[in-house]
């Protein structure tokens, strides 16, 4: 899920405490082990200026963070990136986390994986592997990932994940270039015997925001895809197939914002490759000073740091959120989206029809009707392009 830019869907469904500044436990710890990745997906959720952050925590620093997270109540641990397989110490990190009692999730492109490593990871205690795909057919997949061999490798690895008895989630980030093949995508997932399928319509953060014109589907494309997904759900359930299809709508076609991250600093904690602790993996872009795990304990970070308390409660709200009777439901939506689109992170998420900036979303929808698909217009996520956004 980490690659979708949709962290709001990447967490367990759990009760929320919404009293002023009160907060839950960081049940979900996402460890972005590295920003390095062999692929170049134009919707990657990593920061545009990732090339500015070269440092990575050591094995011991990561293990220490995991233990502190576990002590705070964290139970799900995601190994993400970039591509987590790039880390040569991944097996040690899996083993350590498993011993601490975490449910361990490897969120991977499958590139760099082989059956031997997979078996070793299982022995070390890895619970689940999520493989991301870019499309259901080879040419589109390889075009989007920027790799000629990616698709074949992914298929092979998905089959191996099941052969070794792991639960498997397949993640397809959908957008205007692949969403019309949703039937084929679902059929591929059924063939591969996936347990869960995330049909995650791109959310527009990081690189995806940069590429929004070439990614955002039209309303007609989206409605068709949702209808076909529902038809498959009914058909597969009738056949007794336990596969679960999770369809994530892009919030650009909503009139109310999502309750982002189940609330700021309520259940979710991300640690970036260089140790920055964030309440969601897009938050690095915000003009907030976030703490680093090398300088502060996780308990202090979670409970008392200004960064994690910034949007807890609702005293920060302006209108229309402040007087809105839905503020306990969506917490004003996504602060990153407000910041990217309006320049002010305290504004209501412009997805909300009550926002004075909602026209920005409506204009993006209108543009989606007129855009001609042209892969040449993608800004691919790679070191060279990142340097353009880096401060140096």
Q: How far apart are CA 165 and CA 262, in angstroms?
A: 32
Nearer residue to another protein within complex by CB, 150 or 168: 168
User: DSSP class of residue 325?
Assistant: T
Q: Residue 25 Cβ, how far from another protein at the closest point, in Å?
A: 6
The C-alpha angle with vertex 51 and arms to 212 and 133, in degrees rounded to 5, equals: 50
Binding mask 186-225 vs another protein (x if CB under 8 A, - otherwise)?
---------xx-----------------------------
Q: Residue 164 Cβ, how far from another protein at the closest point, in Å?
A: 11
Q: How far apart are CA 284 and CA 273, in angstroms?
A: 12
Pick the stretch among 67-75, 180-188, 202-210, 271-279 that binds another protein (CB under 8 A): 67-75
Q: How far apart are CA 48 and CA 57, in angstroms?
A: 20
Q: Residue 186 Cβ, how far from another protein at the closest point, in Å?
A: 18
Nearer residue to another protein within complex by CB, 103 or 346: 103
Q: Phi and psi at residue 144, in whole multiples of 5°?
A: -70, -35
Q: How far apart are CA 28 and CA 12, in angstroms?
A: 8
Q: How far is CA 157 from the centre of its chain?
A: 21
Is 388 an interacting residue with respect to another protein (CB under 8 A)?
A: no
- Is residue 128 within 8 Å of residue 105, measured between CB atoms? yes
Q: Residue 242 Cβ, how far from another protein at the closest point, in Å?
A: 5
Q: Residue 198 Cβ, how far from another protein at the closest point, in Å?
A: 9
Q: Residue 386 Cβ, how far from another protein at the closest point, in Å?
A: 28
Q: How far apart are CA 299 and CA 312, in angstroms?
A: 16
Count CA atoms closer than 13 A to 157's CA, side-chain side: 25
Q: How far apart are CA 233 and CA 242, in angstroms?
A: 10
Is 12 an interacting residue with respect to another protein (CB under 8 A)?
A: yes
Structure tokens at 167: 């639960």
Structure tokens at 201: 């319509």
The C-alpha angle with vertex 144 and arms to 142 and 147, in degrees rounded to 5, equals: 40
Kindly identify the residues of this chain, within the stretch 231-250, that bind another protein according to CB under 8 A: 242
Pick the stretch among 8-16, 42-50, 174-182, 308-316 that binds another protein (CB under 8 A): 8-16
- Is residue 362 within 8 Å of residue 346, measured between CB atoms? no
Is 57 an interacting residue with respect to another protein (CB under 8 A)?
A: no
Question: Of the candidates 161, 169, 269, 285, which one interacts with another protein according to CB under 8 A?
Answer: 169
Binding mask 94-133 vs another protein (x if CB under 8 A, - otherwise)?
-------x-x-x---------------------xx-x---
Q: Residue 112 Cβ, how far from another protein at the closest point, in Å?
A: 21
Q: Mapping DSSP to helix (H, G, I), strand (E, B) and coil, where does residue 211 land?
A: coil
Q: Residue 217: how many CB atoms within 10 A of its CB? A: 25
Question: Of the candidates 18, 23, 27, 44, which one interacts with another protein according to CB under 8 A?
Answer: 27
Question: Of the candidates 47, 78, 259, 350, which one interacts with another protein according to CB under 8 A?
Answer: 78
Binding site for another protein (CB under 8 A): 1, 10-14, 25, 27-28, 72-73, 75-76, 78, 101, 103, 105, 127-128, 130, 165, 167, 169, 195-196, 242
């Amino acid at each position: 899920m980490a690659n979708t830019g949709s962290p709001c869907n990447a967490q367990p469904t759990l009760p929320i405490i919404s009293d002023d500044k009160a907060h839950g436990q960081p049940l979900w710890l996402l460890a972005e082990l590295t920003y390095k990745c062999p692929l170049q997906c134009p919707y990657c959720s990593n920061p545009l200026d990732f090339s500015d952050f070269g440092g990575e925590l050591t094995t011991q620093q990561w293990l220490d963070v995991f233990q502190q997270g576990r002590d705070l109540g964290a139970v799900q641990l995601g190994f993400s990136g970039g591509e987590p397989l790039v880390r040569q110490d991944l097996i040690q990190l899996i083993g350590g986390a498993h011993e601490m009692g975490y449910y361990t999730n490897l969120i991977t492109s499958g590139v760099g994986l082989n059956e031997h490593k997979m078996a070793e990871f299982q022995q070390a205690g890895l619970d689940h592997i999520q493989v991301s795909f870019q499309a259901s057919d080879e040419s589109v997949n390889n075009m989007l990932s920027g790799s000629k061999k990616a698709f074949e490798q992914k298929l092979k690895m998905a089959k191996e994940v099941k052969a070794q008895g792991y639960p498997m989630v397949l993640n397809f980030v959908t957008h205007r270039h692949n969403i019309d093949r949703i039937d084929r995508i679902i059929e591929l997932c059924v063939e591969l015997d996936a347990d869960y399928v995330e049909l995650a319509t791109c959310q527009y953060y990081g690189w995806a925001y940069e590429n929004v014109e070439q990614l955002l589907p039209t309303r007609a494309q989206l409605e068709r895809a949702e209808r076909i997904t529902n038809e498959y759900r009914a058909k597969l359930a009738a056949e007794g197939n336990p596969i679960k299809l999770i369809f994530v709508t892009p919030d650009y076609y909503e009139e109310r914002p999502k309750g982002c991250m189940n609330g700021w600093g309520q259940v979710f904690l991300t640690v970036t490759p260089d140790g920055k602790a964030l309440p969601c993996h897009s938050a690095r872009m915000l003009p907030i000073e976030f703490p680093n795990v090398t300088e502060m304990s996780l308990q202090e970070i979670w409970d008392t740091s200004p960064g994690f308390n910034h949007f807890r409660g609702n005293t920060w709200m302006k209108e229309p959120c402040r007087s809105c009777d839905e503020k306990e439901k969506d917490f004003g939506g996504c602060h990153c989206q407000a910041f990217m689109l309006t320049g002010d992170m305290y504004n209501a998420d412009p997805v909300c029809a009550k926002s004075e900036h909602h026209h920005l979303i409506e204009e993006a929808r209108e543009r989606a009707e007129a855009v001609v698909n042209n892969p040449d217009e993608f800004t691919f996520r790679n070191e060279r392009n990142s340097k353009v956004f880096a401060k140096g």
